[in-house]
Amino acid sequence: MKRIAPALALVLAAAALPAQAAPARAGPVETISYETGPCFGRCPVYRVTVRSDGRGSFEGIRFTAFTGTRPFRLTRAQYLAFARRLAPDRPAQGERHYQPGTPLCRQAATDLPSVSIVWRGRGAQSLYVYYGCDRRQNGAMFDRLSSAPALLPIGDFIAPTR
Contact 90, 30 (CB under 8 A): no
Please state the pTM of the whole predicted model.
0.82
- Spell out the residues 6+ positions from residue 144 whose beta carbon is closer than 8 angstroms to its own: 85, 86, 88, 89
pLDDT score, position 161: 52
List pLDDT tens digits, range 54-91.
999 999 999 999 999 999 999 999 999 999 999 999 99
Residue-range domains of the chain with CATH: 28-158 (3.30.1560)
